[in-house]
Amino acid sequence: MSTSHAIRHIRITPIAFRDPPLLNAAGIHEPWALRSIIEIETASGLVGINESYGDQPMLEALAKAAPALVGLSPWALNDMEARVAALVTPPQLTASEFLGQQVSLAPGTHVSKTVAKVVSAFEVAMLDLQGQMAQAPIVDLLGGPARDRVPYSAYLFYKYAEHVGQPYAPDAWGEALTPAQLVAQARRMIDQYGFQSIKLKAGTLPPEQEAAGILALAEAFPGTPLRIDPNGNWTVETSLQIVQQLRGVLEYYEDPAPGLDGMAAVARECDVPLATNMVVTDFAEFRRNADMGCPVKIVLSDHHYWGGLRATQRLSTLCQTFDLGLSMHSNSHLGVSMVAMTHLCASVPQLTYACDTHYPWQDEEVVEGGRLQFEQGSLRVPTTPGLGVTLDRTALARLHDNYLHCGIRNRDDLGQMRKYAPSFTGHQPRF
């Protein structure tokens, strides 16, 4: 390796951007979503970028591992993984701590995912550098495109019109608490982005109301694939009652009941395939699902906590081996993360469902050129070197200033919900 290509510096910039009051099983989104922007610079001045989680534990883990990468080649991904693992592997969890991590709404917050998250954060930035050096898009480094555009799904939420305390002007989407408001939200999102499938984040209102919402969507958008995701907030009994009401309507049923055992109990009585981003979130959990006869039929991966783009490709091979479907989970994110996800999805022939994305809910951006443009619900795979996007330095400075002043350092949907409903516990399953 030429010394001019050695890594000489790593910058990690925490950012915050406006996030609407979206309801979920854990509570409600806070006014500001946290992310981090990672920049890896070589001695020759090339800069590879990435976007990842921005909570305090993640920032500390990134800062702890970053110095160990100085001097590495951008091609030395295996060496990077070994160095990260040596520095940020968490202490062994007790059984009760491990179970507590496993039932969390957001798998990316698990202590057990620390190594995978940090590896992924650095891997994408190093792949961006590799692509610039080879004059090839990242999808080519991953084996080449299986498709030239990646389909995404309209991701609907029940939501309030504005945040408590009015930290800024209300978002343009308005309130969505009734079936009619949900249909209006879907129509606006489909008209604007062209999505050809719909997912509803559920587990927030009484299940009968949410079932009515799905049925209203089925009537308003006949033939459109529909999914519902209660985030494990329904009992097995409730899960089975609701899926009976939705017979012939759902494309798949995502995380209705808590835990893999709960999902297996639903699967035994349900002919709709079950999907998850909560109970198969790493390779050990994949093995347990396989040992149980695969009650989960569709894995919703996320390269941010599965260990990166290459690790997710390995997951896709396992899904093919066990005849499982594959798609991608999403969290509040901006364009850098979105483009990395698009390269990955383009490289995976086994991708069988349109992917999740929160992108329409975000109205800020950190990449040059502003908001990414969807075509009939899909994003075109970049053909320029590396990720194919660069940072807007002015926007980065503005979003970093948001971080410095927003007062949030760890995501807390439960605490935010208690500002609206002080007695809310977040206990699952709630219904």
Say whether 317 counts as a known binding-site residue: no
Say whether 382 counts as a known binding-site residue: no
Say whether 50 counts as a known binding-site residue: no
Say whether 358 counts as a known binding-site residue: yes
Say whether 109 counts as a known binding-site residue: yes
248 CB neighbour count, 10 Å cutoff: 6
Judge contact between 168 and 154, C-beta under 8 A. Answer: no
Say whether 411 counts as a known binding-site residue: yes
Say whether 24 counts as a known binding-site residue: no
Say whether 230 counts as a known binding-site residue: yes
Say whether 231 counts as a known binding-site residue: yes
CA–CA gap between residue 348 and residue 312 (Å, rounded): 9
Say whether 199 counts as a known binding-site residue: yes
3-state secondary structure the chain: CCHHHCEEEEEEEEEEEECCCEEECCEECCCEEEEEEEEEEECCCCEEEEEEECCHHHHHHHHHHHHHHCCCCCCCHHHHHHHHHHHHCCCCCCHHHHHHHHCCCCHHHCHHHHHHHHHHHHHHHHHHHHHHHHCCEHHHHCCCCCCCEEEECEEEECECCCCCCCCCCCCCCCCECCHHHHHHHHHHHHHHHCCCCEEEECCCCCHHHHHHHHHHHHHHCCCCCEEEECCCCCCHHHHHHHHHHCCCCEEEEECCCCHHHHHHHHHHCCCCCEEECCCCCCHHHHHHHHHCCCCEEEEEECHHHHCCHHHHHHHHHHHHHCCCEEEECCCCCCHHHHHHHHHHHHCCCCCCCCECCCHHHCCCCCECCCCCCCECCEEECCCCCECCCCECHHHHHHHHHHHHHHCCCCCCHHHHHCCCCCCCCCCCCCC
Residues with catalytic roles: 201, 329
Say whether 289 counts as a known binding-site residue: no
From the annotation, which residues make up the binding site for substrate? 29, 109, 155, 199, 229-231, 277, 329-331, 358, 411
Specify binding-site residues: 29, 109, 155, 199, 229-231, 277, 329-331, 358, 411
